[in-house]
C-alpha cells in the first residue's frame, strides 16, 4: 500500500507541498498560479512574462516559479542581482547605456576608390582646370593693384556702374571717395595676403587613365611576346590548367560548405520553437560543429579529393568566410537569447517583489533588477526599426539567406540598403574581376612560376651547406619581389574592391567601406585595422571583446589573443598551400606586436614619413620573404 502511494506522482507532489519548507505554497492546491497572478499589474507582470516566455519557447527553468509573492526565492533573486550588478559596469557609462553591439557600425559609405576617384572622375571631370584658375587669380590680382594705385578712379567707375538705370526710381547714397579708397585698400591688402597663401590644386584624373592604359598596353605586350616566342604558352600554361582542373568538383564542394551554414540556423530555429535552449545544448552543438567544419574542409580537398593548391587555398579561404559568418550569426543571436532570459527573469522578479507583503528584498536589489530590465529592453528593441524582425522573429530563412549573400561577416538584423541596382556598375566590376584574374594568371605564369620551380629544385637537391642554401634563397628572393608586389596589389584590388563591391551592388548592400587608406599607414596596428575592414570587425567583436567578456582578459591580453588566433589561421593557410608546417608566417605575424609598440613611441609618432617608408619596406619584402622561405627551407 505504501509503495503504491510512493509511486503515485500526485501523492508525492502533495507531500512535497505540505512539507514545512513549502508552507506558503499550499494555496496552489486550490488557486492556480495563473489565477493568483491575474490581478498582478507591474511594468511587466509575472503572468505576462511567463506567457510571453512560453510563446517564445523559453524553458520555464529560467524563470521564477509562478507562486505567491510571499514565496519568492530571495536567495535566487539576490544571486541574480549580484550577477547583473557585475555586468552593469560594462553596460552603463556615466548613466549612458552601452550596447554590446556599439563596437561595430554600418552606414551608407562608398569604397575609397569609388568615392575618391571613380565617381568624381565620371561625374565631374572637366579636363584641365589649373590654367583657368591661374588666369582668374591673375585677373583678381590686377584688379586689386588698380584699386591700390587709382582708388579715386576706381571709386568713380564703381559709382557710374552702380547708378540706377532710366526708369529706376530707387536711389542710393554714394560713398565718399576717401571711404571708398580706404575700404578698397584694406580689402586689397587682405585679398593679396590670402592669394599669397592659397595653393592651387590640380586634378590627377588623367594620370588615373594613363595608369590603366599602361597596364593594358603592358599586358598586350606580354601577350604578343609570349605568342611569338612560346606560341601562347601563357594561356595554356600550368596555372591555367590548374584553374580548369576539377572545376565542377570544386564548385560542388563549395556548395556543400554553403549548405553547412544552415546548421547553426537550425539550432536557433529549434531554440525559437522551444525544442532546445541556447544556454543548454545550443551553444555546445554550434561550437563543436564549427570546429569539425573547419577540420573536415581542410582534410577533404587535401587527402580525399587531391585538389591542386589553387583549389585548396580557395576552398580554405571560403570556408573561413563561411565559418565566421556562422559564428557571428550564432553568437549574436545566442547573446540575445541570454538577454531575453535575463529580461524575463528580472521582469518576473520585479513583479513578485511588488506583490510581496514582506520587505525581504533590499532597495539595492530592486534597483539592480530594474536596471537589468531596462537594459535588456533597450538591447532587444534597438537592433532594428522593423517590428516584424525584432528578435527572435529575425530567425527566419529569408533573413539568414540575405545575410549569407551580403559582403560582410558580422551579423546584425538589418543593414543599410540601397534602393536599386546599377547594372552598368555591376558590368564594370564584372569586367574588372575577370580582367584582374587574367593579369594575375599572366603574372603568375610568366614571372612567378619559373622562380617557384627553381626554388623547388633547390629544396629537393642535395644539401650543400647552410651558406650555399642561403645564397640560393637570397637570389630567389631578389627575383620574386617585383612580381610578388604586383600580385599582392592585384589580389587586394580583386577581392576588396572588385568582388566585394560587385556583390554589394547586387545585394543592395549600402556600406561599401571594405578597406581604409592602408597605403598611408605609419604603424602596423593601423594596417591591421584598416586593410581588411570586414575581418577587423569580426575580430573586434567576436574575438577581442568576446575574450574580455568571456575570459575576463584585460585589453593587453585580448590583443595578444587576437593576434595569436590570427597568426594560427595564417599559418594554416600556408600549410594548405605548401603542405609544410614551418611557423614562419606565425612568427612574422606575432612580430607585429613589438613593431606596433615601436611605432607608437613618441620618437616614431612624429616621424610619419619614416614610418610610412618602413611600412612599405615591410609590405614589399615581407610576402616575398615568406614565400621564398616556404619554398626553399
Per-residue buried b or exposed e for 435-471, using 16+ beta carbons within 10 Å of the residue's own CB: bbeebbbbbbbbbbbebbebbeebeeeeeeeeeebee
C-alpha cell at 293: 567544419
Q: In this predicted structure, what is the pLDDT of residue 210? A: 86
Confidence at residue 353, expressed as pLDDT on a 0 to 100 scale: 77
pLDDT tier, 605 (very low <50, low <70, confident <90, very high otherwise): confident
Residue 231 is predicted with a pLDDT of 66
The torsion of the CA quartet 90, 93, 96, 100, rounded to 10 degrees, works out to: -30
The number of angstroms, rounded, from the C-alpha of 546 to the middle of its chain's C-alpha atoms is: 15
**Of 544 and 241, the one with more pLDDT:** 544
More confident call, 230 vs 108: 108
Provide the grid cell at 168.
Answer: 529706376
**Dist. CA 378–CA 498, nearest whole Å:** 38
Contact in structure between 574 and 567 (CB atoms under 8 Å): no
Residue 23: the pLDDT is 45
- Work out the pLDDT band at 178, boundaries 50, 70, 90: very low
- CA 405 vs. chain centroid, Å, equals 15
pLDDT, tens digit, 9 for 90 and up, residues 418-436: 999 999 999 999 999 999 9
Cα three-residue angle 28-31-37, rounded to 5 degrees: 95
Three-state DSSP class for residue 92: strand
The predicted structure's pLDDT at residue 628: 86
Q: What is the pLDDT of residue 84?
A: 80
Does pLDDT of 192 surpass 50? no
- State what percent of residues in the chain have pLDDT above 70: 78
pLDDT at site 103: 84
Average pLDDT over residues 210-236: 78
pLDDT digit string, tens, across residues 14-39: 555 555 444 444 433 333 444 333 33
**Using an 8 Å Cβ cutoff, are 541 and 410 in contact?**
yes
Q: Which backbone phi and psi does 631 adopt, to 5 degrees?
A: -80, -35
Among residues 197, 327, 536, 570, the one annotated as catalytic is 570
The answer to whether 521 touches 530, Cβ cutoff 8 Å, is yes
Average pLDDT for 59-87: 61
pLDDT band, residue 283 (cuts 50/70/90): very high
**Residue that wins the pLDDT comparison between 331 and 58:** 331
Q: What angle do CA 533, 537, 542 make, to 5 degrees?
A: 150
What is the per-residue pLDDT for 519? 92
- Band of residue 557 on the pLDDT scale cut at 50, 70, 90: very high
Residue with cell string 518576473: 348
Q: What is the mean pLDDT of the chain?
A: 80
Between these two residues, 226 and 43, which has the higher pLDDT value?
A: 226
User: Which carries the bigger pLDDT value, residue 610 or residue 183?
Assistant: 610
* Grid cell of 92 as nine digits: 552603463
In degrees and rounded to multiples of 5, residue 532 shows phi and psi of -140, 85
**Residue 536 annotated among the catalytic residues of the structure:** no
Give the Å distances, CA to CA, from 43 to 35, 347, 353: 19, 8, 12
- When pLDDT is cut at 50, 70 and 90, the band that residue 326 belongs to is very high
Higher pLDDT, 81 or 611: 611
**What per-residue confidence (pLDDT) applies to 68?**
40
Q: Which residues of 47-79 are buried (b: 16+ CB within 10 A; e: fewer)?
A: bbbbeebeebebeeebbbbbbbbebbeeeebbe
Provide, rounded to the nearest whole percent, the portion of the chain with pLDDT above 90. Answer: 33
Amino acid at each position: 500500500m505504501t509503495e503504491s502511494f510512493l509511486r503515485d506522482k500526485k501523492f508525492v507532489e502533495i507531500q512535497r507541498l505540505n512539507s514545512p519548507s513549502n508552507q506558503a505554497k499550499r494555496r496552489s492546491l486550490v488557486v492556480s498560479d495563473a489565477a493568483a497572478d491575474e490581478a498582478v499589474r507591474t511594468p511587466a507582470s509575472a503572468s505576462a512574462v511567463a506567457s510571453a516566455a512560453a510563446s517564445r519557447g523559453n524553458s520555464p527553468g529560467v524563470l521564477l516559479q509562478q507562486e505567491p509573492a510571499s514565496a519568492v526565492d530571495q536567495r535566487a533573486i539576490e544571486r541574480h542581482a549580484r550577477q547583473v550588478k557585475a555586468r552593469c559596469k560594462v553596460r552603463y557609462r556615466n548613466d549612458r547605456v552601452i550596447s554590446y553591439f556599439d563596437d561595430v557600425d554600418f552606414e551608407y559609405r562608398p569604397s575609397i576608390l569609388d568615392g575618391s576617384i571613380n565617381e568624381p572622375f565620371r561625374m565631374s571631370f572637366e579636363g584641365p582646370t589649373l590654367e583657368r584658375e591661374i588666369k582668374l587669380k591673375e585677373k583678381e590680382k590686377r584688379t586689386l593693384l588698380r584699386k591700390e594705385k587709382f582708388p579715386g578712379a576706381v571709386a568713380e567707375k564703381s559709382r557710374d556702374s552702380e547708378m540706377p538705370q532710366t526708369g529706376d526710381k530707387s536711389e542710393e547714397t554714394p560713398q565718399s571717395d576717401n571711404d571708398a579708397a580706404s575700404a578698397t585698400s584694406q580689402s586689397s591688402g587682405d585679398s593679396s595676403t590670402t592669394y599669397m597663401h592659397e595653393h592651387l590644386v590640380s586634378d590627377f584624373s588623367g594620370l588615373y587613365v594613363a595608369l590603366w592604359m599602361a597596364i593594358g598596353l603592358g599586358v598586350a605586350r606580354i601577350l604578343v611576346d609570349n605568342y611569338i616566342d612560346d606560341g601562347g604558352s601563357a594561356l595554356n600554361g600550368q596555372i591555367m590548367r590548374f584553374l580548369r582542373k576539377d572545376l565542377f568538383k570544386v564548385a560542388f564542394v563549395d556548395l556543400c560548405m554553403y549548405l553547412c551554414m544552415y546548421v547553426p540556423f537550425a539550432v536557433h530555429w529549434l531554440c525559437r520553437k522551444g525544442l532546445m535552449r541556447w544556454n543548454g545544448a545550443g551553444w555546445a552543438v554550434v561550437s563543436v560543429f564549427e570546429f569539425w567544419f573547419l577540420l573536415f574542409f581542410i582534410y577533404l580537398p587535401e587527402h580525399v579529393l587531391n585538389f591542386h593548391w589553387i583549389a585548396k587555398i580557395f576552398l580554405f579561404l571560403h570556408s573561413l568566410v563561411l565559418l565566421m559568418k556562422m559564428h557571428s550569426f550564432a553568437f549574436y543571436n545566442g547573446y540575445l537569447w541570454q538577454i531575453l532570459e535575463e529580461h524575463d527573469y528580472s521582469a518576473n522578479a520585479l513583479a513578485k517583489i511588488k506583490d510581496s507583503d514582506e520587505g525581504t528584498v533590499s532597495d539595492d536589489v530592486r534597483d539592480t533588477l530594474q536596471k537589468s530590465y531596462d537594459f535588456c529592453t533597450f538591447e532587444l528593441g534597438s537592433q532594428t526599426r522593423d517590428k516584424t524582425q525584432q528578435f527572435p522573429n529575425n530567425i527566419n530563412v529569408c533573413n539568414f539567406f540575405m545575410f549569407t549573400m551580403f559582403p560582410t561577416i558580422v551579423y546584425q538584423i538589418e543593414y543599410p540598403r540601397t534602393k536599386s541596382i546599377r547594372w552598368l556598375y555591376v558590368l564594370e566590376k564584372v569586367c574588372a574581376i575577370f580582367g584582374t584574374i587574367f593579369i594575375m594568371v599572366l603574372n603568375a605564369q610568366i614571372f612567378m612560376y619559373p622562380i617557384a620551380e627553381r626554388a623547388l629544385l633547390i629544396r629537393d637537391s642535395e644539401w650543400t651547406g647552410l651558406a650555399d642554401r642561403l645564397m640560393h634563397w637570397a637570389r630567389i628572393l631578389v627575383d620574386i619581389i617585383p612580381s610578388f608586389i604586383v600580385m599582392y596589389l592585384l589580389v587586394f584590388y580583386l577581392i576588396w574592391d572588385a568582388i566585394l563591391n560587385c556583390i554589394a551592388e547586387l545585394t543592395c548592400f549600402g556600406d561599401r567601406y571594405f578597406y581604409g587608406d592602408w597605403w598611408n599607414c605609419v604603424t602596423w596596428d593601423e594596417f591591421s585595422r584598416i586593410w581588411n575592414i570586414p575581418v577587423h570587425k569580426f575580430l573586434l567583436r567576436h574575438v577581442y571583446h568576446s575574450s574580455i567578456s568571456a575570459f575576463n582578459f584585460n585589453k593587453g591580453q585580448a590583443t595578444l589573443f587576437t593576434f595569436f588566433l590570427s597568426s594560427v589561421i595564417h599559418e594554416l593557410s600556408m600549410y594548405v598551400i605548401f603542405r609544410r608546417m614551418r611557423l614562419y608566417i606565425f612568427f612574422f605575424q606575432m612580430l607585429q606586436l613589438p613593431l606596433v609598440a615601436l611605432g607608437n613611441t613618441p620618437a616614431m609618432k612624429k616621424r610619419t614619413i619614416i614610418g610610412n617608408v618602413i611600412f612599405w619596406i615591410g609590405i614589399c619584402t615581407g610576402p616575398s620573404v615568406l614565400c621564398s622561405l616556404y619554398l626553399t627551407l
